[in-house]
Structure 1
């Protein structure tokens, strides 16, 4: 995909100093009206003005190569003409109607997602976010199984609502221990800090499965579901061996426990090798949830499950904003572009290209424990040399060093010591090489 970058230059009349003053003023206004826990990246936060392709500009006119895409949400490209045109056309017709009324854009989107999901007899419930998608999945699973007990993975993150916080095993994102769910956390894909980390892939999986079996034997196995991210997102792109969740699901199936694949970050081809993260494990989940990249930044999520599971909910339920005509129009255009341009294939090729440049540098850097992930979903974990004690200060410094080089990357991990690399899936070879070299330069600048 080829895009022409707009002229750089000031975003408003006046000097660069005036633009910086506007950034500082915006920051002061932000802090005056938002919660103190609503964090911003960087010591000097960036005020974004616009974007195109794989680049964004701040109000001072500085251009950045975007390797995080609004937390993996700008999936295809900034200002993708096909999505922009679809949204503009729909905006001239009707913006909103709620799920109380039929709308062709919304039905078309649900049909497409049901087909792509791989789940037989699929039903789709659309929401405005991934948090609400996971919330709805938990509601369906607990209603279907008539149990409020849930299995989740250690190091997991599933959203910021009351119920999704209740299945999140990540202290930085768990402000309360209160929950209507009884959650038990099992061993998962974060191998670096697992007691089984030194085992080969097959033995690692077997050890985690044995632990799950023992847990179910001890508790009776009356759980509604196991919810899992095929690759943990906020957890720092922790990646289990292929086939891991296939072995876990086999145990769950024996107890009637539903398997929920949280594809909010792994869906739509980002991992390169597969369209969905679950496909690396030789299974079809009972339910899957999605959000983020599906609408390329428009607020959309959802849950897909077999009809019998979805229909287990009693009473009337609607969504005021889920799958609005405007958002659905953008999502339909985005998915068409994704499939017609084989962005999954591009994610695989560009991910391999990035890895080829980064891997030898990581191997020679004593304060980076590993490079992990797949496709355009890669991570580097910073540690104190000589062990695996986390070094979040080094991660923060690397993030700033990348910003100084006009490269935007993300952070994550339980200790805030993981750098996340996840550019839009339309990334070009030239941009991949540029971004990889900027990241390498930033790593070397820190010694």
Structure 2
């Protein structure tokens, strides 16, 4: 990987753009080929810095996806990591708002990481800073970069839950542009919205030098319009974009090069981030988030009974299952140290999250691993009334609820599904006894 600075342009600064992690701090490690993670990202940034390249990392928000105690822990770890990697600003996303303004402000203050949102208002004033001006020293002078944050009005419900409002982003930009253009050499607009909304901003405000999106539909390369590039970073931390900015012959700073860096296994893990992620595991374990609250009401309907209960009638199928990787799925969590991570247990145990599902190896040993009921559903009624029709039929698309592109990047349902197909008939020994 050639990281050295272009000798023809000594006054080069490289922006690093990321966002939309949505809770993905690292690959879970349960299969090969997984990409992303703050550890590899930090290593990549370190590689650039060690080559003497001036880098400016900027975050486009949505570090979390949903509100839970685990998400709060992720936010603590994630904000610390971003600050440690030298990020200069963070545009608040709609999912971030689930943490609440006070908690976000606390994370910002603790980590010295400015939060931006120019059009998120409480009353007549913005809740966070509309923009920042960041000045960097270069071999032949300085560069001042303005970073402004916006959030789409389509996310109004997240703001309304906090008694906030999202005002028209175009109106806000129109009022700020004269000041930004006069104060900055380059203007970067972070936008938590759709590609269509960002395209309208690009066409309406040609003085914006870079517009950054972080949504699900990720472009592999930036727009070909290098005078006003529109970049859509990868979600879930899979990759990070770099953009070189340097002077042209007239002395004006322009975008000259943009590149997507996939955070794959070729990039080593950062020892500092590995240590931080170990702290994350320890925090999860200390919180004991695996245990179901005692006051949670018992769920009605079929209950999880464990794969051993299926063995009585389906001995041949059970023996076949015992030879599959599904029957050893929990062990992969133990190897990776994720046995106390609720998000991992969902796909490596039976019925986790239900009062009758997996709680711990000691308390619910029959619910360890990916068992019969992981695919066929809770089986208590079927076990009591096996003659009733209709239980257990599944479609192969069920597999991709766990074998996602993030967790199982090499998973091919047409290849793997035939390997776990089995007969639904009862064993011959059971048939003879009836």
- Structure of greater Rg: 2
Q: Same fold (TM over 0.5)?
A: no
> Relative contact order (alpha carbons < 8 A, sep ≥ 6): 1 or 2 greater?
1
TM-score under structure 2 normalisation?
Answer: 0.29
**Superposition TM-score, scaled by structure 1 size:** 0.28
